[in-house]
Amino acid sequence: MRVTAMTMRTAVLGLILAGGLSACASIKDHRGYIVDQALLDSVAPGLDNQATVERTLGRPTFVSQYGQKDWYYVSTNTRQVAFGRARAHEQLMVKISFDAQGKVAAVERSGMEKVVKLNPDGDKTPTLGRERTFFEDLFGNIGTVGAAGMGGQGGGPGGPNGS
């Protein structure tokens, strides 16, 4: 069997293409609560309380800090391409509300429709007030440091009239 230059070039080109395509493969990851649909469906409003929900689903991802103490279970699936950031492509958020007696009042589910996509405005944070130049920031305190009540006659500690 004779290997020709054309066959060798085709094999090398195939290896390069296979390597290039494998670098473009996305990395999939799961973050947060691991959803068991049967357990999630077993939580019933009016029947379960905080203790039974914790035994069934485990500790919540977080608990609301204001108002009623709602429990949140958050599950996110992400994808990341080579040299890129991980981006969420699926999300499930389960909010369990409790009444005054600690029984489940409502179970709400939501997905990616609640995710907000933020686009920051450049590298600057807008603030109120006047804008100063670099040199105003650098030399702005000259003449103001030590000028208030420090004319060499001070009565502070270590001064001629101080203790």
Residue 65 sits in a domain of what CATH number?
A: 3.30.1450
Residue 148 lies in a domain: no
State the DSSP code for 147. Answer: -
| Total structural domains within the chain | 1
pLDDT in tens, 77-99: 889 888 888 888 888 899 999 99
Residue 125 lies in a domain: no
Helix, strand, coil shares of the chain, percent, nearest 5, are 25, 25, 50
Contact (CB, 8 A) for 90 and 111:
yes
**77 closest CA partner among 38, 113, 27:** 27
Domain that holds residue 37: 25-114
pTM above 0.85, yes or no: no
Residue 137 lies in a domain: no
pLDDT in tens, 27-37: 888 888 888 88
Q: Report how far apart, in Å, the C-alpha atoms of 162 and of each of 28, 147, 151 are.
A: 70, 18, 14
Residue 36 lies in a domain: yes
pLDDT in tens, 53-69: 999 999 999 998 887 78
pLDDT in tens, 44-54: 998 999 999 99
Q: What is the pLDDT of residue 52?
A: 92
Residue 3 lies in a domain: no
Q: Report how far apart, in Å, the C-alpha atoms of 68 and of each of 54, 101, 105, 129, 160 are.
A: 17, 12, 11, 39, 63
Residue 56 lies in a domain: yes
Amino acid at 51: A
Residue 2 lies in a domain: no
The tokens 């939580």 sit on which residue?
43
Name the percent of the chain lying above pLDDT 70: 75
User: Kind and range of the H or E element at 105?
Assistant: strand 104-110
Residue 17 lies in a domain: no
